[in-house]
Chains A and B, each alone.
Chain A
Amino acid sequence: DIQLTQSPSSLSASAGDRVTITCRASQSISNYLNWYQQKPGKAPKLLISAASSLQSGVPSRFSGSRSGTDFTLTISSLQPEDFATYYCQQSYNSLFTFGGGTKVEIK
Chain B
Amino acid sequence: QVQLQESGPGLVKPSQTLSLTCTVSGGSINSGGYYWSWIRQHPGKGLEWIGYVYYSGSTYYSPSLKSRVTISLDTSKNQFSLKLSSVTAADTAVYYCASFGKYSYGYGPFDYWGQGTLVSVSS
Contact = CB atoms under 8 A, between A and B. Distances in A.
Contacts of A89: 47, 109-110
A91 B107 contact: yes
B109 A98 contact: no
A97 to B, nearest CB: 7
Interface residues of B, number: 22
Contacts of B63: 1, 95
B111 A46 contact: yes
28 contacts: A32-B106, A32-B107, A42-B115, A43-B96, A43-B98, A43-B113, A43-B116, A44-B96, A44-B113, A46-B110, A46-B111, A49-B111, A50-B109, A87-B47, A89-B109, A91-B106, A91-B107, A91-B108, A92-B106, A93-B107, A94-B60, A95-B49, A95-B63, A96-B37, A96-B49, A97-B49, A98-B46, A98-B49
